[in-house]
Amino acid sequence: MKGAPFLQAQDQLSFRSIPAAGTLLRAQTSEGDFLAHVVSEGPQRPLAFRVLSRERHPDFTPRWWAGQVEQALGRRRALSERLGEGPRRLIQAEADGLPGLLCDLWAPGVAALSVESPGALATLEFVEEALIEQAKLKSLWRRLPLEGRGGGLTPWHASPLTPKAVKHLEIREGAGRLSLDFEGQQLPPMERRAWRAWCTERAKGRSLLCWGETPWEIQAAESAGALRVESLKPDAFKRLEAMAEKGLRFDLALAVLPAEAKYRWGRFVFNKQGQRVAQLLKALVPEGDLLLAGLPQEGLPQPGLDLEAGALAWAPLAPPPDLPPLGPGFSPVPPAWTASVAQA
């Protein structure tokens, strides 16, 4: 367990049945050596425990949780000096000592908290109070874990601490605009903001081909003045081949690719078919820019795709604020990110 942020049920010997979610426990080796303080995820979860602290004697009071929030926000303040103000990640789960919690700021005073750990529910009130006070929030939306082994999350709903939370937002990211609807459950992934920026920075007056699940990238490109946007579903491999054979051309292409997936026509494995995909896309964008996105860093193949330098950029899906490199001449964060709030 040393260094790991969680402990699975089969890796512990103390409990035949995992304690109720939210139970705080002390983890130690079979020899009795201290490892960490952990919180239980409950008996029906594949992850049995999440690490809360590796300190020997932490005091898990509301003040301790407020301190964790303060440290997380402090890291983001330092980052905002370099990136500027705008939509951004406030809390990044285990990386900020708040396991299972992801919080994004979408506008001044408006944030969304995704609670992906049943163990976090017992102390959620302390975290929300600290967030609202320290980040000066007027609107906090949240979604909670569903009960049972299947997991999943509830729809977004306003925190009881901010019952009059704004329901709709219009976000500007550089040259693009996005419409957010909390009640309608329409929130773009913060992790993909660099991909959207890539589209908006390059799309004005140009044609764009998007392959994969890219609704927010398409919306951003169209709002930035794209001349034409065509979208292909993730399983449209055959159509991609047909478009290349017909000699269709685009100025830009964004492909959100899985490392591996099963489609109607068969199984897609990037390390086997990635070369062919890159060649097809490059045939459709012979003189433009191509971005292959979504692959985990460890899933990227070795260099060797037969494409001229600068035409192909890799963009692994990385949690903010670690923005992925998107090729030469590209600024991953446009200088002016603004947001306007519209109360429904």
For 238-285, how does the pLDDT look when each residue is reduced to its tens digit (9 = 90+)?
A: 888 899 899 999 999 888 877 777 877 788 777 777 777 778 888 898
If phi > 0 it is left, if psi is from -120 to 50 it is alpha, else beta; for residue 274 that is: alpha
Residues 6+ apart with CB under 8 A from 67: none
Average pLDDT over residues 300-322: 37
Report the phi/psi class of residue 174: left, alpha or beta, with left for phi > 0 and alpha for psi in -120 to 50.
left
Are 249 and 282 spatial neighbours (Cβ–Cβ below 8 Å)? no
Q: Is the pLDDT confidence value at 339 over 50? A: no
Percent of the chain clearing pLDDT 90 (strictly above): 23
Q: Over the chain, what is the mean pLDDT?
A: 77
Q: What pLDDT is recorded for position 82?
A: 61
Pick from 50-64, 141-155, 179-193, 319-333: least confident: 319-333
Which residues contact residue 287 at a Cβ distance below 8 angstroms, ignoring those fewer than 6 apart? 251
* pLDDT at residue 304 in the model: 36
CA–CA dist 260, 319 (Å, integer):
20
Q: Is 44 exposed, middle or buried (0-12, 13-18, 19+ CB in 10 A)?
A: middle
Q: How confident is the model at residue 308 (pLDDT cuts 50, 70, 90)?
A: very low
Amino acid at 68: Q
Global pTM? 0.74
Report whether pLDDT(132) > 90: yes
Q: Which residue has the higher pLDDT, 310 or 242?
A: 242
Is the confidence at residue 333, as pLDDT, over 70?
A: no
Cα 338 to chain centroid distance, Å, stands at 20
Q: What share of the chain is helix, strand, coil (3-state, %, to 5)?
A: 30, 30, 40
User: Would you state the pLDDT for residue 138?
Assistant: 93
Closest CA to 79 of 327, 328, 340, 319: 319
Residue 15 binned pLDDT confidence (cut-offs 50, 70, 90): low
Structure tokens at 64: 């301790």
Tell me, rounded to whole angstroms, the distance of Cα 43 from its chain centroid: 27
Most confident of the ranges 70-79, 204-213, 322-331, 334-343: 204-213
Q: Report how far residue 18's alpha carbon sits from residue 35's, in angstroms, rounded to the nearest whole number.
A: 18
pLDDT recorded at residue 310: 32
Beta carbons within 8 Å of 58's beta carbon, 6+ residues apart: 37, 52, 64
Contact 168, 179 (CB under 8 A): yes
226 DSSP 8-state letter: B
Q: Is the dihedral of CA 125, 130, 131, 136 positive or negative?
A: positive
Is the confidence at residue 85, as pLDDT, over 70? Answer: no
* pLDDT: which is higher, 58 or 137: 137
What is the pLDDT at residue 250? 94
Checking if the pLDDT of 311 tops 80, the result is no
DSSP 157-171: EE-TT-TT---EEEE
The answer, yes or no, to whether residue 162 has pLDDT greater than 70, is: yes
